[in-house]
Amino acid sequence: MSIKVYVSRDATALSVGAESVARAVEVAAQQRGADIQLVRNGSRGLFWLEPLVEVETPSGRHAYGPVGAADVAELFDAGFLNAAAHRLHLGPTAEIAELASQQRLTFARVGVTDPVSLSDYLAHDGYAGLRQALTMTPAAIVAAVTESGLRGRGGAAFPTGVKWKTVLDQPPQQKYVTCNADEGDSGTFADRMLMEGDPLTLIEGMTIAGVAVGATQGFIYLRVEYPHALRALNEAIAAAYAGGYLGRNILGSDKQFELEVRLGAGAYICGEETSMLESLEGKRGEVRVRPPLPAIKGLFGQPTIVNNVISLATVPVILLQGAEFYKNFGTGKSRGTIPLQLAGNVRRGGLFERAFGVTLRDLVYGYGGGTASGRPVRAVQVGGPLGAYIPESQFDTPVDYEALSASGALLGHGGIVVFDDTVDMAGMARFALEFCAVESCGKCTPCRIGSTRGVELMDRVIANVDRERNLQLVEELCETLLHGSLCGLGGMTPFPVQSALKHFPEDFRKTVV
C-alpha cells in the first residue's frame, strides 16, 4: 500500500518553497521505487516549520521541517518514510507543542485533509453538520447558532444567529448568503488559510446558512490577491456539486443552494459589508448608508446574510457537536474559539486557534517566542491597520471582545502584529492616517478630507513645527473622525493614533536632528 506523504499547497508554504519540495519528493520516491501517495494538504499554521513534510505511519503522522528541496534525498535515505530520526524530524505531528496546545474546532481539518477531496472531507466528519441541519426546522437551526454564542469573526463581533434570524423573518422571496472573504486587515490570514486548507467547511457552512434562512444562492466575495484560495474554492465547489451537496435537491431533500466565487479587486473598503455588496453588484465599492440593514435589503435589494469566512466555517461544527459543546469554550460573552494570527516581528509566526481567554502574553511569548529580531517586544497592534497599539505592560489582557474593548482596543479579525523596541510610534500614527487617506471611499468628509489633513499634521509634529499645537489638532481630528464618519474606516482610524499617543507619548516629542 502507498505511504501518504503530505506537502502543503498553502500560499505561505509555497512562498518558502513547498512546490519544489513536493517535486523533489516525487522524484526521490521514483528514483528509489518507493510507493508513495503525495497529498497536497493545507498548512498547519506553524509557519516557521514550513515547508513542513509529513509522513503517515502506523503510529500516526510524523513531521519534518522546515524542509528544503535539497534535504529531500537525504530524508529518503535516512528512512523518513518509516519516521526515522533525522535532524529535521519533529516527532509525531500531533505532539508538536504549539499544535498540541491548541483547541482546533474551526481549523480541525486544516492541514489534516486533502482540501479538495470530497471523500477525505466526508471521512473527517465533513457534511455531518449539514445532514443534521436537514433534520431540523429553519428556526431550530438559527436558534442553535444563536445559542452557541457565535459572534461575527470579521471584526464587528455581531451575534451571527441574530443576523440570521432577521433574514429568516423576512417574507419568502429571493434571499442571498454572501461570504466576506476580502480579508484586508494587515497581519491576518485565517480566511485565506481556511479557504486554501479546508474550503468544503466554508461551503458547508454557507449551505447550512442557506437552508436556515431560505436562501438559494450564495456568493463568496474573494479578493483577487488570493489565487490559491480561488483555485481551491473552485475545485471544492465542483466536487460539492458533483457529490450532490450543492445545487437542487441537496442530499435528496427539497432544498436548493447554488454557490459561486466572485473576485474583488482588493480595495480595503470592499471588506466593509455594504461596500462589498455594491462591489458584488458590479459597482464601485462605496459604503451604503444604513438603515436599511443588509439582512433586510442587501444584495440586489434582497434580504442577505453577510458573514465572514470564519463565522460561516464555524457553523458546521456547531451543528455537528451542538450549541452547548461550542458554548463551553471561551469566557464571558466571547464564546467558542478564535483563530489568532501572529505576524510582524515575531520568531514563530502563524495561526493558533484557542478558546477566548488566552492572554496576549501567552500568544506573543508562548506561541510566538518573542521577536524575530531578538530585541524586547514594545507593542502589538491587534485587529488590523485600524486596531489599537497595546504596550507590553498590558499583555496580561485576555483575548476576549469585552476585555480588549475595556482596555481601548478591539479584536477585529484576530490579527496580532508584533513590534520590537525600535518601532517609531509617531511614524505608525502617521501611517494610520495615510492608510485612511489612501483607502477612503470618499463618501463622507471627515474621512475623505480629515485623513489627508491628519497626515499633514503628523508631518508637522514629527518635524517639530509648532508641535504641541499640532498634537492638539491631531487629538481634535481624532474626535471628529470617531464621531463623524459614516463607517468603520474613518471611525476606527483614531484607535491606532490615540493609543500610540497615550502609551508612547515620548515618540511624538523626539528631538529633530
CB within 8 Å of 256: residues ≥ 6 apart: 216, 247, 248, 249, 250
Reading the block at residue 358, the C-alpha cell is: 488566552
**Which segment (10-18, 208-216, 329-337, 444-452) binds ligand SF4 by CB under 6 A?**
444-452
386 scored as a contact of ligand SF4 (CB under 6 A): no
- Report CA torsion sign: 138, 144, 149, 150: negative
DSSP string across 293-315: PTTTS-GGGS-EEEEEHHHHHHH
CB of 181 to ligand SF4, least distance (A): 20
99 scored as a contact of ligand SF4 (CB under 6 A): no
Helix (H, G, I), strand (E, B) or coil at 118: helix
Nearer to ligand SF4, 100 or 158 (CB): 158
**CA-to-CA dists, residue 408 to 333, 486, 492, angstroms:** 17, 21, 11
Element (H, E) at 467: helix 467-484
CB of 8 to ligand SF4, least distance (A): 36
Ranges within 152-211 binding ligand SF4 (CB under 6 A)? none
Check if the beta carbon of residue 331 is closer than 8 Å to that of residue 212.
no
27 scored as a contact of ligand FMN (CB under 6 A): no
278 scored as a contact of ligand FMN (CB under 6 A): no
Residue found under cell 505608525:
428
330 touches which of ligand SF4, ligand FMN, none (CB within 5 to 8 A by kind)?
none
β-sheet bridge partners, residue 343: 417
272 scored as a contact of ligand FMN (CB under 6 A): yes
Nearer to ligand FMN, 269 or 346 (CB): 269
CB of 98 to ligand FMN, least distance (A): 26
d(C-alpha 507, C-alpha 495), whole Å: 17
Q: Sketch the per residue contact string, 268 through 297, with ligand SF4: x for CB under 6 A, - otherwise.
A: -x-----------------x----------
287 touches which of ligand FMN, ligand SF4, none (CB within 5 to 8 A by kind)?
ligand SF4
CB of 451 to ligand SF4, least distance (A): 8
440 scored as a contact of ligand SF4 (CB under 6 A): yes
CB of 272 to ligand SF4, least distance (A): 7
What's the per-residue H, E or C state across 184-204? Answer: CCCCCCHHHHHHHHCHHHHHH
d(C-alpha 137, C-alpha 135), whole Å: 7
Binding ligand SF4 (rule: CB under 6 A), the pick from 444, 455, 458, 474 is 444
Question: How would you classify the pairing of strands 53-57 and 60-64?
Answer: antiparallel
Q: Sheet containing 89-92: which strands, arranged edge to edge?
A: 36-39, 3-7, 53-57, 60-64, 89-92
Binding ligand SF4 (rule: CB under 6 A), the pick from 305, 423, 437, 447 is 447
Nearer to ligand FMN, 116 or 305 (CB): 305
Q: Smallest Cα–Cα separation from 362: which of 26, 20, 59, 97? A: 97
269 scored as a contact of ligand FMN (CB under 6 A): yes
293-315 burial, b if ≥16 CB within 10 A, otherwise e?
Answer: bbbbbbbeebbbbbbbbbbbbbb
Ranges within 140-169 binding ligand FMN (CB under 6 A)? 152-156, 158
440 scored as a contact of ligand FMN (CB under 6 A): no
Ranges within 467-486 binding ligand SF4 (CB under 6 A)? 485-486
384 scored as a contact of ligand SF4 (CB under 6 A): no
**Which segment (43-51, 78-86, 337-345, 487-495) binds ligand SF4 by CB under 6 A?**
487-495
Nearer to ligand FMN, 24 or 202 (CB): 202
CB of 480 to ligand SF4, least distance (A): 11
* Distance from chain centroid for Cα 195: 10
Positions touching ligand SF4 (CB under 6 A) are 269, 287, 440-444, 447-448, 485-487, 489-490
Positions touching ligand FMN (CB under 6 A) are 152-156, 158, 180, 182-184, 268-269, 271-273, 306-308, 311, 487-489
